[in-house]
Every structure is written in C-alpha cells, then in structure tokens.
Structure 1
C-alpha cells in the first residue's frame, strides 16, 4: 500500500492554480492510497474553524476555499484513505472541527509513525529553526493555549485583519534575515532524532526540498525535506509498501 506525504501548499484564494492543482492531485494521485499526511502550512492562514460558518458571505473567499478542500478530502477518506493533518506555522489554529469536516485526524508535532516498516519522525520543521530567535519566541506564544483562546474569542473580521498583518510582518522579517538563520539548526536535528530513536526525519517548512545524509548515534541517517507547492509544481514523498521514502517533484 502507498503512503503520501505533502506540506506547504499555502492554499489561499489568491492562488487558485495551486488549489485546482491540489484537487486534481487528490483525484489522480491520492485516490486509493493507504494514508495521506499533510505536514503543516496546508493553508496560508487559518483564523479559526468558525471560518467555515461564513461560506459565501466571506469576502476574502477563504471560507469557500476551505469548504471546497474539506469536502474533497472527506471524499478521499470515505474511500478508505487515512488522512493525518499536522499544524504548521501558518495554520496552527486548525482545529477538530475542520479535521472532522475533512475526514482527517490531527497529528501532533513531532510524531513518530511507521512507514515502510521503519519508525519515521514527522515534523512541520519550524521548531528546528532555533537560530531564528525572534520566530522561536513568537512560536512559543502562538502555540500557547491561552493565547490561542484569546485570539479565537475575537470577532472574525478582527482575526482576518490580524492574519493579514502577521503575514505582512512575517514577509518583512524574512527579507531581513540571513539565509542560514531561516534553515534548520543541524545540532537541533540530530538532538531531536536521537531523542526519538529514529534514523529518518521528514519535514517541510523551509521550502528547501532535498535529501540530507547524516549520522545519528553512529548510525547512517537521513533528513527528507518537502518543498512548497507553486502554480506549476508540487512536491510529495512516496512510500510504496515496505520501500524507502522517495522525494518527488511533479508538474501541476
């Protein structure tokens, strides 16, 4: 049986080519697979599951997009595919209601799962970027339950405005940071993999697709990094039966 892993689609109304490409990919590539793992930043932003209540009344189009995607995922789940959804740094407010609408289960970050007969560590990847101290401070705040409750208690329109402001601030901050600061910290990768007793790590977040060979506790190991989706290209990791994970790019 086949397992697929993807991340960093950053779905939003301003990029309909990616949404349409993802929905085609679900029908043509994901139909019939045993499991699908979505490793964070599925959406460009998520202001709370009550977004689904807005429907066509949402002027941004995010509610319509979310409903369309959730229904497509649920059809896949109804056909027998297990769908696992991990939070990213953009959609950390995704909750059980959306997961239920999509026929998915929320997956902890990090999580150890069995793929191809091997214990594999799955992460979004942002927690590995420890040299970005400003982001790590924000991450600690944004993942705190009390902070999230305060945000979700705000009117939806205020949350939409906040999300737009945070995206703008993130873009400005990223443009001013050194390239290596926004990548993972090698020592943190080795530490996390050793703590979980694995020799394979799969993550996204950095938008730097690659397979890195390394060593953990004297054993050969590897880190597979998923790429972000763009209007003309997507990235997936495929595990066929008992085979090893394979990173692939494909045309949308």
Structure 2
C-alpha cells in the first residue's frame, strides 16, 4: 500500500490563521481522523504517527496547530481557564468547516483528549468516535507535580531550545500558557464531567500505567462518565505519550476500535 499523500492547509479562525496538515489515503469514504495535540504539541511533534495511523486504519488523517502553537498565528493574551471548552465551541467548528470536515473521528492526546471529548459533546451529529489518549479528566495532584517538574526543567536553556525548535518565537507563550492555566488556583475545580454527560459516540480511553501526569483514575472517569459505548485500555510500561512509546499497540487498538464505524 503506497504511503499517504501529504498536503498543508490554512484555516482562518478568530484571532488569526491555523496551520493544518492532511495525510490522505486513496478515496476513503470513512470519517477522517482529526488529531488534537497536547499542551506543548504541534503538527510536527506528531512525527511519523499520522502517516502510520492513516495506513493502519485506511482513513485520511488531519492534524492542526492550535492558535498560538507551531505554524499557526501567535497569540499575545494568555488562555482563559475555559480554554478547553473554547477550543470545542469557538475554534474547532470553524476549522472543521473550512477544511470541509462534515464528519470525523477524533484522536486527542493529553489536553487534546479533553478537547476531543468536549467537541464530541457539542458536535454530536458530526463526531463518530473519540480516542482519548492520556487525557486528563480533572486536576489531580500528580498532574500538578508533573507540570511543576517540567516547568523547572525548562529553566535549562537546552530544554527550552527544544521547545523553540517546534514553536519558534511562540515558545515562551506556549510554556506559560500551559503552566499558567494548570497551576492557577482558579483551575483546580476544572472537570470534564459536564462534557462527558453529553458524549454519546463510542469512546476509547488509552492510558499508560506510568503516566507522569495522571493516574488511571482519568480513563476510569472518562469510560464511566460518557453516555455511549466506552472502554479503557491501560498500556503496561508506558508513560504520557503512548503513540510514541507504544506506537504498535496504539495503532492496533485504534484500528480495532474504529472497525465498523463509518
């Protein structure tokens, strides 16, 4: 099977432009998969996973840089404590419309998984399925400790230079957007519960048993809280980035999960 055809796109959203990339496989009539990145992520940081996912599932795959990240327009103002819900209600519907995405399956990593579930809650007629990978469901002490540790590590100029490689001059905003919101006292009460109650599509919650940003209480809460069919899979010997650490297992799990979903 030949590799997917890769093409780059732009979508205009409130506040600027968003960069998106497509990995197309033939004339697939199945709902495409849209990837939603984590708090420090970008299209480029998915690396080879989107192409592998397209080939494994036979579906077109899309990924985009949220506003302020990667190759999308910069942002000056810090995100609000409602940024997860804002992505679902304000930005994603506009991006999907401009990219011609009528129906889709969502694959979200970390906070991208929380966003995917909120999108499914607010776009029930369009979202066919959600894969929530290493997604947070509430604010856990382990989450805060992991963020504080990472915050300290980025004081090292070498570590910060790695972030600049993916985000350029936006790197400082990206780092402060992540740590500033998650460590804010006003964010401590955040929970996915209101969105989970509105999710009726099939959901797969993937989580590493060594995730440094959250325990298996997260996928348990997600699987228990949604209204549609759901299952969780805990990957042994795996940290916070299963699609990189256990790519073959993730691809197999997603392929099996999406079988039978148009």
TM range (shorter): 0.3 to 0.5
| TM, length-normalised to structure 1 | 0.34
> Between Structure 1 and Structure 2, which shows a larger proportion of strand residues?
1
Name the larger-Rg structure: 1
